[in-house]
Amino acid sequence: MTRPTSASGRPLGNRWLGFLLRRTGRMLVAMWVIVTVAFLVLRIAGGDPVRSALGATADESVVQARREQLGLNDPLVLQYLDYLSGLFRGDLGVSLITGRSVTELVSHRLPATLELAGIAFLAVLLVAVPVGLGIAIITQGNGRRGTEMAFTGVTAFIAAIPEYLLGVVLVIVFAITLHALPVAGRTGPASYLLPVIALSVSAAASIARIARIEALNTLKDDYVRTARSKRLPAWMIYFRHALPNMLTATLTIGGTLLAAMIAGSVLVEQVFNWPGLGTAFVGAITTKDYGIVQGLALVYAAIILVVNLLVDLVLSLLDRRTSLLETS
């Protein structure tokens, strides 16, 4: 049995494995850079993080004992090696104030953050892709210019609204004024509605614009014209032929937006007092608990890098042209 090969004669399986290894290697290098920068920032920024965390009135002996316990009196190189060693063991550090493990904090709060971002991302796709395809169908062939201009203007305005600002407005209207929905917490299905809306509306507007452009390009392709010449039903042309082929670029931007939504959830969680990483992150910044700030910053960076890697892998599998593998 002959193995599939590319135009250059190389087995496609080997090339895909090489692509996977290159992408994974780049992700690991980026993660190492982020880890190193996060470590150095707290050491060269000036001041004493332990004194800042414990307060100006803390006894000096307590401060020194805490520094010794955390290894902050060791040489910088030794601190860095100990820090890397801890990361390989899954140890993200400890709180400078309470001594609580950051790894334990992440294990308790990460599911809430991923749940919120995941539901919001699913809502974005379920709303934005059909809307983009529908507007493309209506406006194809330079028809209905008024509809096109209205769609473009409205989505541009919505996409520019910051998530946290929309969250504040939603709280004022639906929680404080109308008393229709919970204002904070993760207490039941109703408590998800406002934070999901706040996190997804701007992203949905951006994805809808991209989906429309991709759908318009797809509807001009030869295979769509061939399907029309065969007098296939409209629903089959749009949903069986056009929709799958417009998703590649849409998923590319969608994956990038998912990473941005995870990062943007920090402020949304704060608005709705959501028990995720975002509220812990903001709280640690407020109390100057740099141990938690450093650990959670690495977690957010790792999530974003992994999401971007997964997007690249999915697209490499969907792209049958193999040009992605050639240029990586």
CATH class, domain 110-327, is: mainly alpha
For the chain, what are the domain ranges?
14-88, 110-327
In the chain, the amino acid numbered 118 is G
- What is the DSSP secondary-structure string of 129-196? HHHHHHHHHHHGGG--HHHHHHHHHHHHHHHTS-HHHHHHHHIIIIIIIS--S-SSS--SHHHHHHHH
Angle subtended at Cα 98 by Cα 93 and Cα 40, rounded to the nearest 5 degrees: 35
Which tokens sit at 148?
């096109």
- If you average pLDDT over every residue of the chain, what do you get? 81
pLDDT at residue 13, rounded to an integer = 58
Question: Per-residue pLDDT for 173 more than 90?
Answer: yes
Q: Report which listed range, 50-54, 130-134, 243-247, 274-278, is most confident.
A: 274-278
Which tokens sit at 221?
């392709």
Report residue 137's pLDDT band, with 50, 70 and 90 as the boundaries: confident
pTM summary value: 0.78
pLDDT at residue 249, rounded to an integer = 67
Quote the percentage of the chain above a pLDDT of 90: 21
Question: Per-residue pLDDT for 49 more than 90?
Answer: no
Which tokens sit at 73?
């009196």
Give the H or E element holding residue 54: helix 49-54
pLDDT at residue 241, rounded to an integer = 63
Residues with Cβ within 8 Å of 195's Cβ and at least 6 positions away in sequence, in order, are 116, 120, 167, 268, 269, 271, 272, 274
pLDDT at residue 89, rounded to an integer = 87
pLDDT at residue 194, rounded to an integer = 93
Kindly state the average pLDDT of the residues 277-301. 86
Kindly report the three-state secondary structure assignment for every residue of 104-147: HHHHHHHHHHHHHHHHHHHHHHHHHHHHHHHHHHHHHHHCCHHH
